[in-house]
Amino acid sequence: MSIDGVLLFSGGLDSILAALLLQEQGLNIRCLHYVSPFFGSPRARSRWKQLYGLDVEIADAGPEMVRLVKDWPEHGFGKVMNPCVDCKITLLRLAKVRMEELGGSFIATGEVLGQRPMSQRRDIMNLIRHQAGVDDLLLRPLCAKHLDPTPCELSGLVDRERLLDLHGRGRQEQLNLARHYGLTEIPSPGGGCLLTERENARHYWPLRKYRERPTVEDFRLANCGRQLWHAEEGTTACWMVVARNNRDNERLRAFAAADDLLAGLCDYPGPIALLRDGCRWPGDLLERACSQFVSYAPRVTQAMEQDSVLEVRVWLKRADASQSVLSVRPDTERTFFARPDWEEVRAEKHALASRREEERKAERQLLREARQKAWLESHPDRVSTQAEPAHDAKPRS
Ligand code: SF4
Distance 382 CA to ligand 1 centre (A): 52
What number of other Cβ atoms are within 10 A of residue 219's Cβ? Answer: 25
| Distances, alpha carbon 21 to alpha carbons 50, 152, 158, 177, 301, in Å | 18, 15, 11, 9, 58
- CA-nearest residue for atom 2, ligand 1, is 193
195: Cβ below 6 Å to ligand 1? yes
Do the beta carbons of residue 54 and residue 48 sit within 8 Å? yes
Note the pLDDT of residue 307.
Answer: 78
- CA-nearest residue for atom 5, ligand 1, is 84
Note the pLDDT of residue 257.
Answer: 96
Distance 112 CA to ligand 1 centre (A): 15
What number of other Cβ atoms are within 10 A of residue 323's Cβ? Answer: 12
In whole angstroms, give the CA distance from residue 22 to residue 7: 10
Angle at 63 between CA 59 and CA 66, to 5 degrees: 120
Distance 367 CA to ligand 1 centre (A): 33
Mutate to test the pocket of ligand 1, among 65, 82, 94 (most ligand atoms within 8 A of CB): 82
Mutate to test the pocket of ligand 1, among 32, 39, 90, 115 (most ligand atoms within 8 A of CB): 39
143: Cβ below 6 Å to ligand 1? no
Which segments within the chain are labelled E, that is strand? 5-8, 29-35, 56-60, 106-108, 138-139, 226-230, 238-242, 261-265, 273-276, 312-317, 323-328
Atom of ligand 1 nearest to the CA of 193: 2
Report pTM: 0.90
Distance 192 CA to ligand 1 centre (A): 9
Atom of ligand 1 nearest to the CA of 88: 5
Distance 123 CA to ligand 1 centre (A): 18
- CA-nearest residue for atom 6, ligand 1, is 84
Distance 196 CA to ligand 1 centre (A): 8
- CA-nearest residue for atom 3, ligand 1, is 193
Question: What single letter denotes the amino acid at residue 175?
Answer: L
Note the pLDDT of residue 189.
Answer: 76
39: Cβ below 6 Å to ligand 1? yes
What's the maximum distance between 2 C-alpha atoms anywhere in the chain?
A: 93
Distance 83 CA to ligand 1 centre (A): 7
Distance 250 CA to ligand 1 centre (A): 29
Query: Could you give the strand order of the β-sheet that contains 138-139, starting from the edge strand earlier in sequence?
Result: 56-60, 29-35, 5-8, 106-108, 138-139
Angle at 244 between CA 321 and CA 212, to 5 degrees: 65
What is the chain's pLDDT, residue by residue, as a tens digit (397 residues)?
A: 689 999 999 999 999 999 999 999 999 999 999 999 999 999 999 999 999 999 999 999 999 999 999 999 999 999 999 999 999 999 999 999 999 999 999 999 999 999 887 788 899 999 999 999 999 999 999 999 999 999 999 999 999 999 999 999 899 999 999 999 999 999 887 668 999 999 999 999 999 999 999 999 999 999 999 999 999 888 889 999 999 999 999 999 999 999 999 999 999 999 999 999 999 999 999 999 999 999 999 999 999 888 766 899 999 999 888 999 999 999 999 999 999 999 999 999 999 999 999 999 999 999 999 999 999 989 888 765 555 555 544 444 3
Distance 181 CA to ligand 1 centre (A): 27
Q: Which of 86, 69, 294, 289 shows the shortest CA–CA distance to 200?
A: 69
196: Cβ below 6 Å to ligand 1? yes
Mutate to test the pocket of ligand 1, among 9, 77, 88, 127 (most ligand atoms within 8 A of CB): 88
Counting every residue written for the chain, the total comes to 397
- CATH domain 5-193 topology: Rossmann fold (3.40.50)
Distance 239 CA to ligand 1 centre (A): 26
